[in-house]
Amino acid sequence: MNQTSEIEVGLSQSQFERDGYLVLEKCFAPQRIDRAASAIRGLLDERPNEVVVDSLGSGRRSFWAQADKREIRSFRFHDLYLMGEELRELALDPDLASILEGALGEPAVLCNSLNLRKGTFQTSHIDSLYMTPRTPHALVSAWIAFEDVHPDAGPLVYYPGSHRIPLYRFNDGTHHAAPDEEADWFDYIDVQIRLRGIKERKFLAKKGDVIIWHADLVHGGSPIRDVGRTRASMICHYFGESDCRHWALDIVPLHGGYWMRWPQQPVRVDPSAFGTGFPFPEEAYLMRYQDVREAVEAKLFPSGEFHYWNFGFGEGRGV
């Protein structure tokens, strides 16, 4: 990316406020995307016991090493940014970080990433339903095209201006989706979009293009007309710095933004799966659960592994 001037950042800021999204054409050179894709292949080969994936078909979460039908199914790869510097560098590229800062009004904290090989067919939603910022609107997302998107590959769809629709309040008084009230949210947003005459738009990206969207912009994955087609992408979500400071999160500075250091999503591995080739991740388990660490240090349990076998898994914990 070229050096972004203050004028460009200012202009993109007002476009973002008006439309709720911003397309950054040729944000990354194809070679840069290739380097990131090769870093991902390296992680999958070298650390399959640590890479967390969701199968898009079954919804099942597992480590990459244990994923079923890896050749034919589609997966969502979680938070590879935690393992790969190349991916952090991409997500917080200096120019991108300054545009994200303009959109948020404060430095951006990369807190989650997803890598996809194919379309998601995901129903339209707003990200703040699931990743609800403490300060309303203090969340922004960047979708990075890892290849040209074919119209039959289930392109990303979005609804310009939909971020201005007042946020729906769930029964608990928050804007965070309650699972049994999600259908009410869909009804609400459907009516609001129709009332405002908002038309969906598809993002037919070229490799290296980026779209950033507002916490409350309605978007999703359109139907995949040709299941053989890939639609490789990386999606990054960023909270504003002040919410992260409030929550006392561990954030690491990088190029004017930050990335959040955390032990990634827990996976509920059946204890019997551990053995040679898949050792129990003792240190990671103790890092994740401070109460278990304290109990092991107090010699109440011989190890974290013992705890997981006898209690942790049954209590709903993961590794």
Ligand X SMILES: O=C(O)CCC(=O)C(=O)O
Residue number, 43 or 114, with CB nearest to ligand X: 114
The DSSP bridge partners found for residue 221 are 156
Query: CA 6 to CA 27: how far, in whole Å?
Result: 17
Number of helices followed by number of strands (H, E) in the chain: 9, 13
127 binds ligand X (CB under 6 A): yes
**Nearer to ligand X among residue 95 and residue 127 (C-beta):** 127
Question: Cα angle vertex 111, ends 153, 137, to 5°?
Answer: 85
In whole angstroms, how far apart are CA 121 and each of 125, 152, 199?
12, 12, 18
Among 61, 219, 288, 307, which residue sits at the site for ligand X (rule: CB under 6 A)? Answer: 219
Closer Cβ to ligand X, 8 or 152, answer by number: 152
> Which of Fe ion, ligand X, none does residue 62 bind (CB under 5 to 8 Å by kind)?
none
- Taking the least distance from each CB to ligand X, the nearer of 127 and 147 is 127
Residue 147 makes contact with ligand X by CB under 6 A: no
* Cα–chain center distance at 309: 30
Q: Is 217 in the site for ligand X (CB under 6 A)?
A: no
- Quick one: which H or E segment has residue 238? strand 233-240
Q: Which two structure tokens, joined as six digits, stand for 13?
A: 């800021």
* 196 DSSP 8-state letter: T
Strand order in the sheet with 219-221: 201-203, 156-158, 219-221
Nearest residue to 218 (alpha-carbon basis) of 192, 237, 244, 236:
192
Task: Indicate whether 120 belongs to the interface with ligand X (CB under 6 A).
Answer: yes
Q: Which is nearer to ligand X, 79 or 127 (CB)?
A: 127
The binder of 120, among Fe ion, ligand X, none, by C-beta within 5 to 8 A per type, is ligand X
Least distance in angstroms from the C-beta of 289 to ligand X: 28
User: Which residue's CB is nearer to Fe ion, number 65 or number 131?
Assistant: 131
Contacts 24+ apart (CB under 8 A), 61-68: 61/265, 61/267, 61/268, 62/267, 62/269, 63/267, 63/269, 65/278, 66/269, 66/273, 66/278
Residue from 90, 92, 156, 189 that binds ligand X (CB under 6 A)?
A: 156
In the window 111-130, what residues touch Fe ion (CB under 5 A)?
127
Nearest distance in Å: CB 223, ligand X:
11
- Of these partners, ligand X, Fe ion, none, which one is at the site of residue 113 (CB under 5 to 8 Å by kind)? none
Binding site for Fe ion (CB under 5 A): 127
Binding site for ligand X (CB under 6 A): 114, 119-120, 122, 127, 141, 156, 219, 221, 233, 235
